[in-house]
Structure 1
Amino acid sequence: MPPKKPPPLPRSLFTGGGPLSPSALHQPPSPSTVHPANIVDAHCHGIPLEHFPELQNKPPVTGSVHVGRSFSSADGSRWGKHLTVPACTVDDDPDVQATTTVPAIDLIVPCTGPLNEARWGRVDEAVNRLDGGRQKVEEEAAAGTTARKILVSGLLPPPLTKPSEPLLNSAEYEAHCGHLSQLSLHSDVVLKALPPIVDTRIAGPGAWWEDVHELERVVKMYIGPAIEAFGTHRIVFGSQPALAPSDPAIAVPVSGAAWYALLRKCISELGEESEAMTAVMAKNAEALYNL
């Protein structure tokens, strides 16, 4: 005897305000509604984000970190939740012993174009020099020792060279994502999400970076893989580029309040919610710098 068919479900379950109707299902928040609870500007060498009144309805800016290469290791200073810190570059030979008393070390990758294999090698060497290598970091973590964090600037995003379509299939983009994934295996490495720079001599023609929608698409292509590799708990926001450009051919298409707005939009459209947004924009920096 064939099994009886179950009775049909009433249409009211699926329509109007029924429990199985589309309106009753959990919907992710609209990207326009995802905002951090507060902001910490973790990388500035000019005017901190709090002094940009054009950012309307922004959350409160509760701290800032002024980063500069001209400082010595003894120059770090603090006033409330505002901090001045020295930074080294991948080409420096920092005094590792002098950094043992600080919770976070700023490491800048100075470049105006895609990193070649030699430059990526210098990044790896600098990180290994500062943390003693991945095995040492893992041993410290297993022993419950709090490792110093290495905050890397200049890689998220790297200098922009191509609009989104040619970038997607380029060797430079593939190499960047691959090396960034390898760098993420150092659990003490944190990325700073800073405004991009553009060398106008190599990124033309057409000044595509002046199109805010195209710029957003390219930035999102770098932010997505970084979140996948590092997680939102290992990314911090800063309002200024890694280094202040001194070459007039280097453009900074977005910075300060405009960079905050663009980065917030990119992160929210990648599906992150308010807790992760607050981590990137404030909480991670507060913990890393003891603000």
Structure 2
Amino acid sequence: MHPGRKGPKVPLKLPASAFSPPNTGTGEKFPLAPSPSALRPKEIVDARVPVGADLSLDAWKEKAAGELNDCLQGAVLFATDASAASSVAPSSTVPILSLSVPFDLEASEHTLPSSSLPLSLHTAYNKVSPQAQESLRWAMQQGRPVEIDIQAVFTDSMWENFEEALGKATADIEKAPPIILSHLLPPAHDIELPVVKLMSHPSYRDFQAQVAALSLFASASVNFLPPNWDGPSPFADDDEDKAKTEWKRKIKMYLGPVLEAFGDERIMFGSGTSPSPAIWYDIARESLAELAVDQQAIDAVFSSNAKRVYGS
């Protein structure tokens, strides 16, 4: 059954210090917490690697350098065309956990393609409709992971409709498949809005309540992907360090409530369509590490969660 809108009416408030680099001062009785630079995943599983029809990882590897490429021990291939399912699995030393193929929520007929790789499904959600509801139900009945890309800037009523749609889609299914929510972490956002103003902004309070409500779906996880933000970017801006610092401050604002609601066991790192997967990996790892998480949380977000979700 749909869990209903049970998110907290008064959103959790995180201190401003959570969004600044950690203080290195400490007393004699309290040992220093691990430095964020020391918290690195033992291995990496990328939960969203874009590929073409040939499923080749070459284009991704050209942009993924350093630690991300060196430590990669698994990937979920993200295809934009279902015909990719007929391609032969690429010869690669990287284990392929799943090939994610698209389905259209507004299509009246659906067919699950055959593939030599384990299949999962993905779609984009931007409005509610009777056909979208039926298509979402079909996807859940396939018993495979379903990624839902939240592409619209939702109003409160649209969020309620989305929650209701998820509830109906999974109703009476004995074991709901893994549901992966994308572009919820972080969501669409005005990058020019200062952190101090964001903390009291209505949109941020709505985000906290929405995340809390969606976390009540036990099979739901969140993809930690590069944001679709306008404005200065660490991928293209001349002052890369300044843009990177600002992105991290904003990302931690959204990462905190998601950690509170979903826990570190239901968040998965993915490089997505980032122009530089290596830079995005650094931003994501540092943002998570600076929220005072431990090694177990780092390993969960960057590898073990994806193994569990796509191996189930």
TM-score normalised by structure 1 residue count: 0.72
**In 2, Cα distance between the equivalents of 1:72 and 1:130?**
26
Q: Distance in 2 between matches of 1:76 and 1:176?
A: 39
Show the counterpart of 1:238: 270
1:129 to 168, 174, 177: 168
Residue 211 of structure 1 aligns to a residue whose secondary structure is helix
Give ranges in structure 2 of 5+ residues lacking alignment.
Answer: 1-25, 52-56, 102-121, 232-237
Distance 1:277 1:50, change over 3 A: farther
Between the aligned partners of 1:30 and 1:24, the Cα distance in structure 2 is 18
Q: Which amino acid aligns with 1:150?
A: I
**1:63-99 Cα shifts (integer Å, max 9, x gaps):** 1112245328977986642531121222444253454
Match of 1:88 among 117, 123, 128: 123
Structure with higher Rg: it is 1
Which of the residues 276, 280, 283 maps onto 2:301?
A: 280
Distance 1:76 1:283 in 2: 27
The aligned residue for residue 260 of structure 1 is 281
C-alpha RMSD over aligned residues: 3.3
1:155–1:290 Cα change, 3 Å: same
Comparing 271-280 with 52-61, which one deviates more in the overlay? 52-61
- Residue pair 1:76, 1:85 contacting (<8 A) in 2 also: no
Once residues 103 and 76 of structure 1 are traced to their aligned partners in structure 2, the CA distance between those partners, rounded to angstroms, is: 20
Q: Aligned residue for 1:62?
A: 73
Matches within 5 A, 1:1-291: 22=27, 25-46=30-51, 50-56=61-67, 60-71=71-82, 80-86=95-101, 87-90=122-125, 91=127, 92-93=132-133, 94=135, 96-97=137-138, 99-111=140-152, 114-132=153-171, 146-161=175-190, 162-199=193-230, 211-241=243-273, 255-290=276-311
Please give the alpha-carbon distance, in whole angstroms, between the structure 1 residues aligned to 2:207 and 2:239: 21
Question: CA 1:274–1:75 in 2, change beyond 3 Å: closer, same or farther?
Answer: farther
TM-score, normalized by length of structure 2?
0.67
Q: Structure 1: give runs of 5+ residues left out of the alignment.
A: 1-20, 141-145, 201-206, 242-251
Q: How many residues align?
A: 243
CA distance in 2, matches of 1:180, 1:49: 30
- Greater Cα shift, 225-234 or 24-33: 24-33
What is the identity, as a one-letter code, of the residue corresponding to 1:89? A
State the Cα deviation string for residues 234-256 of structure 1 (Å, max 9, x = none).
Answer: 01011015xxxxxxxxxx7x751
Moved more, 60-69 or 86-95: 86-95
CA distance in 2, matches of 1:282, 1:51: 21
Distance 1:213 1:126, change over 3 A: same
Distance 1:39 1:85 in 2: 18
Kept after mapping to 1: 8 A contact 2:77/2:96: no
Amino acid at match of 2:98: L
Identical positions, percent: 26
Distance in 2, matches of 1:74 and 1:52, equals: 24
Name the CA shift for 1:110/1:258 in 2 (closer, same or farther; >3 Å). same
2:219 and 2:88 map into 1 onto residues whose CA distance is: 23
Shift of 1:233: 0.5
**Residue 83 and residue 220 in structure 1: after superposition, are their counterparts in 2 closer, same or farther (change >3 A)?**
same
The CA distance in 2 between the partners of 1:123 and 1:279, in whole Å, is: 27
Structure 1 pair 29–198 and aligned structure 2 pair: CA distance change class (3 A): same
- State how far apart, in whole Å, the 1-side matches of 2:223 and 2:217 are: 15
Shift of 1:218: 0.4
1:186/1:105 Cα in 2 relative to 1: closer, same or farther (>3 Å)? same
Counterpart of 2:256 in structure 1: which amino acid? G
User: CA 1:208–1:60 in structure 2 vs 1: closer, same or farther (change >3 Å)?
Assistant: closer
For the structure 1 residues 229 and 285, does the alpha-carbon distance in structure 2 shift closer, same or farther, using more than 3 Å as the test? same
Q: Is the 8 A contact 1:40 1:61 kept in 2?
A: yes
* Contact map agreement 1:157 1:193 (CA 8 A) in 2: yes
